[in-house]
Amino acid sequence: MRRKCILRISTTFMVLILFSPVLRALPLTRTLYIAPPDFIDFSVSVDYLFAARQITRERFAACTGLWNGASIAVSFDVLGMGVIGREKPGDSSFELIASINPLTSDRVRTAFYCSILLPTGPDAYIREDYRAAAFGRNEISVGPLMAFDFRNDLAGFLNFIYTFREGESGGFYSGFRIDPSESGTYRSLLGLNPFCCDSFMYYKKMSDDYVTLASAAVYSGLFPLVTFLEMRSSLTVAVSGGGDVPDAARSGVNPFIAGAGLKYFIVDSFFAQIYGAINPVRESGGVRWRTGLLFNLIF
């Protein structure tokens, strides 16, 4: 009896999580997709970003499950100018998504999201031409993700993510203090004291940080064709500071961008995706519009 119960739960998990068409990758919004253990979710995408100049960004990503309810992912970007340009390394990232079971219900699911940007791309404070596609400095993004099952074929997603961003002065991780023999460790509260100038969370350093609110609606009633709509807004913490925020610190930050797209599942474990997004605000230096393709495979 116990064996059958475990098998039933495992099968349900595989159907709802591994092959769920509404949970899989979206270009502007983080879904609650969690890859099961012993599987690798591999994707290749190309995005065309149109800002002051056109940038091509190719992204290679892989994701796998840690346990039922959590997964990790890594990605690496390759950048180029124009449709076909000389390629150079972009940023890399490491991501973790973990379900928050106590807040999960039949219609609403929640998860915790954390991403660490590895600055392998062009430095936004030095290379202005790639700011729309790479930051080239350290970042940590954290926040909750939510999913809403409106119907069996219609789901919604909501993200609220805070991004700690390295400023022009550098020294991003040096603000954390863990040495118990140093008085600064206690004065800075391990680096979490917003009023200590040596702290990671010193309030003046946070002017480069930004917050992101994103939402999406995904309709799978035409499966194997899946359609989606998205909206995303990101603002620097010092939004009222105007010129106090360097242009480089606004890299990848767009007050508003909206998009739509579709996925086509060739088989349950392989799909192709196409999308387009536009920024109606069209602020100076930001992405005016973008489009892209993605191919995703589970094996």
Query: pLDDT tens-digit profile of 226-258?
Result: 999 999 998 888 754 444 566 666 777 888 899
Instruction: Say which residue the tokens 């460790």 belong to.
Output: 185
DSSP at 2: H
Q: Domain residues for 143?
A: 2-298
Residue 220 C-beta-side C-alpha neighbours within 13 Å: 17
Specify the pLDDT at position 1: 40
Is pLDDT above 70 for 121? yes
Query: 142: closest CA among 59, 66, 209, 215?
Result: 209
Is pLDDT above 70 for 74? yes
Domain count within the chain: 1
**What distance in Å separates the CA atoms of residue 44 and residue 39, rounded to the nearest whole number?**
17
212: CATH = 2.40.160.40
Q: Each residue of 183-196: pLDDT tens digit?
A: 666 566 666 656 66
